[in-house]
């Protein structure tokens, strides 16, 4: 789910991810929970978390969607692709041809990626948010080689226990 938008002139160039949360006919409550879970991070800002830019519950007629979430562009590559190799390359023209090449992970890069993920998790937990679906496929690697945790559809905001 990637989106890159650009406008000429005085208007701002924006690159981001567009995610539509589909309405599930078998379990509508699960669909609603997933949409609102994604928005748990809307107010948060951290280098290792994919940032929510905007969200809307308005959907065009004919779309079976609860809403749309626009997120920052976290990168073309997931940690899963780096670890296991990509199964297919994006066919977009602006993607680097070697984006899907299996990169050799040395110890320094492993530690850097691990620290990025741990820093993101520490921040989330400090905000009483648990991800609940953390896996390499949900960790994007930016063009600046920074790991960003994404896909918060299963996340939960823990209520204060006091």
CATH superfamily of 3-157: Transferase(Phosphotransferase) domain 1 (1.10.510.10)
For residue 16, CA distances in Å to 55, 144, 153 come to 12, 15, 17
Q: Which of 98, 133, 151, 160 is catalytic?
A: 133
User: Residue 116 catalytic?
Assistant: no
Per-residue pLDDT reduced to its tens digit, 47-105 = 999 998 877 777 767 767 777 777 888 888 999 999 998 654 444 444 444 444 445 78
pLDDT confidence of 23, banded at 50, 70, 90?
Answer: low
Tokens standing for residue 114: 């691990």
The domain limits of the chain are: 3-157
Which two structure tokens, joined as six digits, stand for 138?
């949900």
């Amino acid at each position: 789910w990637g989106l890159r938008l650009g406008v000429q002139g005085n208007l701002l160039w924006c690159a981001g991810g567009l995610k539509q949360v589909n309405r599930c006919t078998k379990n509508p409550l699960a669909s609603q929970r997933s949409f609102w879970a994604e928005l748990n991070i809307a107010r948060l800002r951290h280098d290792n978390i994919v940032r929510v830019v905007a969200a809307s519950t308005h959907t065009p007629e004919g779309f079976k969607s609860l809403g749309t979430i626009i997120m920052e562009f976290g990168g073309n590559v997931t940690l899963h692709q780096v670890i296991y190799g990509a199964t297919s390359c994006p066919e977009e023209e602006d993607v680097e041809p070697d984006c899907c090449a299996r990169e050799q992970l040395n110890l320094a890069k492993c530690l850097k990626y691990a620290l990025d993920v741990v820093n993101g998790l520490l921040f989330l937990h400090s905000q009483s948010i648990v991800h609940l679906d953390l896996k390499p496929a949900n960790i994007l690697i930016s063009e600046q080689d920074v790991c960003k945790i994404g896909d918060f559809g299963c996340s939960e905001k823990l209520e204060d226990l006091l």
